[in-house]
Structure 1
Amino acid sequence: MKAIEKAWYSFRWWLFFLWPLMVLFSLISGIRRYLFAAGFKTSTKPAHAKVIVVGNISVGGNGKTPVVVDIAEYLQKQGWQPGILSRGYGGSHRTFPHQVSAKDSAAVVGDEPHLMAGRTGLPVVIDPQRARGAAFLADQCGCDVIICDDGLQHYALARDMEIVVMDERRYGNGYLMPMGPLREGIWRLDTVDAILHNVSCFKEARLLGVVPPQYPMSLTHECVVNVADPSKQLSLEAFSGQFHSVHGIAGIGNPGRFFRQLKDHGVSLTDTTGFADHYQYSAADIPPQTVIMTEKDAVKLVGIAHQDCWYVKASAGLPAAFYRQLDNTLRTKKRK
């Protein structure tokens, strides 16, 4: 994690030197919102497709990708034809829109799009212009629901439902960038349709005085998979019993949460190394002993990981009440 990101969540005094830049950021983002609200800039979406945006008001990862995968798989079971839209952050591809294929590496399309395409088998399109990517999913892929991974602040894409995912860091020191981690003020939470809390204790995390419904979210650890040979799979309990000296690595928004979850499941972590979100690994970054990582890390280590590298395959667990709201929204709500 970068030093400034650590400072956002530890309330460092020197951040106040960034106050003028925060004011400038607030002014620019406020003008941009006004232009869309007043109609000077237009928001569009495919006429025959619903759009769900899964995002947050702060920067950094907090569990959005597992939520997108879970929603996509749920909607497919309900008879919808979902597709996934992503910016493709961290990828080198520069021609858009681009549909992720099996031959694309994570370095080309980004780690999260690569992961989501592999997990779901559904159309995944990367495009920094979200409205254009959404149109491609609807017109070229026949999708009737488009799930946008991140993009809460991309107002050029109209949406039918907004979902915010938060972890225990919430909104840090409460300031806008670069003085704090917020892309928009805390007031924005009152305008979304649902808030998911990716925390161990929902009762403590639940926000008071917030308008939209709030739901607990859990990450279910399905199994541990060998990076070099995916046919080798163990339960987390079997992995914990078999390996007694394990180095944990994670290039995600909140590495500490991943390491704590492993320890809670009995994994003997002798060392841990946290990298920046979307970190691009090299062979030199891989410890020589038994290594355990997230699936998001693993997609970038295919071909360079040694035989004793493993990743945790995890899925989001969402309550039935959330799915009922999702179903009702897709049937009735049309958001501008």
Structure 2
Amino acid sequence: MILNPQDVEASWYGQKRLGFVQRGLLILLSWLYGGVTRLRRALYDQGLLRRTRLPVPVIVVGNLIVGGAGKTPLTRYLAQALIAAGWRPGIISRGYGRQVPGIRAVGQGDPPRYVGDEPLLYAEDGLPIYVGEQRVAAGQALLAANPLVDILIADDGLQHYALERDIELVVFDNRGFGNGQLLPAGPLREGLERLNDMKMKALVWQGGAPALSNPAIHRYPSFAMRLEPGAVYAVNDRTKEQPLSAFAGQSVIAVAGIGNPERFFQMLRDHGLRVEGKSFPDHHQFTQDDIPVSTCPVLMTEKDAVKCHEFSAGRDRWFVVPVTAHIDPPLPLADWLKHRHRV
């Protein structure tokens, strides 16, 4: 029996029905996975595995479902909001998709295969950013190298229990909880009981909260996040900008190697573009052969563009569509942080 990953993922959201034996196998594996994750968390909760508190406040951005829900734009929004409030944030990340392990600082222009794609975006924003499999060690290294940093954002750190945290921001999109089951029978990294953790501060819904009946989601403040496209620019020349509206009515090829490519494609359609979408796995390491040869403009996300820049010379019709997060109401960061005992 062969399980097609695309069919399995489609079944999480009711888009495909699997056979009885396939569903049974996935549920069995889901029970095993759930047992391991609950045991691991219990070991931390009981103090049998050690949590480490860093000397500055830590805000974790993460999600319960696999795939992109908007963590990267939220992290960038959060960093800028903290700077505007007088903080000096740094960011720690695992650096998914990189091919070189270990802890290292990320600088503008670093090869994405060494540091990952999302960390490069944070570095381009001028933020101190360290990557490492062990977030505690990455945070310690960042603080040692950047003594003025007074708050840390842990990108995709919700399940990294070894790192003590002050605030957790959990991101969802319009997929909600899917079928509500754990991997691999469903899209959940952790069970919904994780929402009962009193460390959690807020839920952020990309696109607005869907109508969900789970009572746990009503225990915490919720915020709607929308992603707005900015000025489109050429992959090989950032100074060549034009509004996305300049492409309205045109046929374009949209390339996306992110957790939820359809969200990117739909955003372009919503702005009047005729889109032929080409999807790749999240954190895909692009080669020039992945990008279709076409007379049509090729549009891609910022996250994908950092991996295509090195072979973009002469590709004047490859464009980047940046997005900016807007949150309503604004996150009350000052109120949250003033109650932390170390601030």
Taking structure 2 as the reference length, what is the TM-score of the superposition? 0.90
> Secondary structure of the residue that 1:231 maps to in structure 2?
strand
Q: Is residue 191 of structure 2 the alignment partner of residue 182 of structure 1?
A: no
> Secondary structure of the residue that 2:110 maps to in structure 1?
coil
With over 3 angstroms needed to count, the CA separation of the structure-2 counterparts of 1:274 and 1:20, relative to structure 1, is: same
With over 3 angstroms needed to count, the CA separation of the structure-2 counterparts of 1:256 and 1:304, relative to structure 1, is: same
- CA apart distance, 1:207: 5.8
- CA apart distance, 1:140: 2.0
- Residue in structure 2 matched with residue 247 of structure 1 by the alignment: 253
- Residue in structure 1 matched with residue 142 of structure 2 by the alignment: 137
- Residue in structure 1 matched with residue 279 of structure 2 by the alignment: 274
Matching residue's letter, 1:189: L
- CA apart distance, 1:180: 1.3
- CA apart distance, 1:245: 2.2
Distance (whole Å) between structure 1 residues aligned to residue 114 and residue 324 of structure 2: 24
- Match 1:9 to one of 13, 20, 23: 13
- CA apart distance, 1:7: 2.9
Matching residue's letter, 1:19: I
Q: 1:64-79 to 2 correspondence within 5 Å?
A: 64-79=71-86
- Residue in structure 2 matched with residue 159 of structure 1 by the alignment: 165
Q: Which consecutive residues of structure 2, in runs of 5 or more, have no partner in the other structure?
A: none
Distance (whole Å) between structure 2 residues aligned to residue 229 and residue 205 of structure 1: 43
Q: Is residue 268 of structure 2 the alignment partner of residue 262 of structure 1?
A: yes
With over 3 angstroms needed to count, the CA separation of the structure-2 counterparts of 1:288 and 1:169, relative to structure 1, is: same
With over 3 angstroms needed to count, the CA separation of the structure-2 counterparts of 1:207 and 1:231, relative to structure 1, is: farther
- Residue in structure 1 matched with residue 223 of structure 2 by the alignment: 215
> Secondary structure of the residue that 2:232 maps to in structure 1?
strand
Native 8 Å contact 2:174 2:210 kept in 1: no
- Match 1:291 to one of 295, 298, 312: 298
Q: 1:114-125 to 2 correspondence within 5 Å?
A: 114-118=120-124, 120-125=125-130
- Residue in structure 2 matched with residue 234 of structure 1 by the alignment: 242
- CA apart distance, 1:268: 2.4
Distance (whole Å) between structure 1 residues aligned to residue 290 and residue 305 of structure 2: 13
- Residue in structure 2 matched with residue 91 of structure 1 by the alignment: 98
Any idea what the Cα deviations from partners look like across 1:81-124, whole Å, max 9, x if unmatched? 1001100110122231x110124111211111111211x20101
> Secondary structure of the residue that 2:238 maps to in structure 1?
coil
Distance (whole Å) between structure 2 residues aligned to residue 315 and residue 126 of structure 1: 23
Matching residue's letter, 2:324: S
- Residue in structure 2 matched with residue 43 of structure 1 by the alignment: 51
- CA apart distance, 1:334: 5.0
Taking structure 1 as the reference length, what is the TM-score of the superposition? 0.92
> Secondary structure of the residue that 2:181 maps to in structure 1?
coil
Native 8 Å contact 1:7 1:15 kept in 2: no
Matching residue's letter, 2:28: P
Q: Is residue 321 of structure 2 the alignment partner of residue 315 of structure 1?
A: no
RMSD: 1.8
- CA apart distance, 1:228: 1.3
Q: Which consecutive residues of structure 1, in runs of 5 or more, have no partner in the other structure?
A: none
Distance (whole Å) between structure 2 residues aligned to residue 85 and residue 279 of structure 1: 21
Aligned residues: 325
- Match 1:23 to one of 24, 31, 35: 31
Native 8 Å contact 1:52 1:163 kept in 2: yes
- Residue in structure 2 matched with residue 53 of structure 1 by the alignment: 60
With over 3 angstroms needed to count, the CA separation of the structure-2 counterparts of 1:121 and 1:206, relative to structure 1, is: farther
Percent identity over the alignment is 41
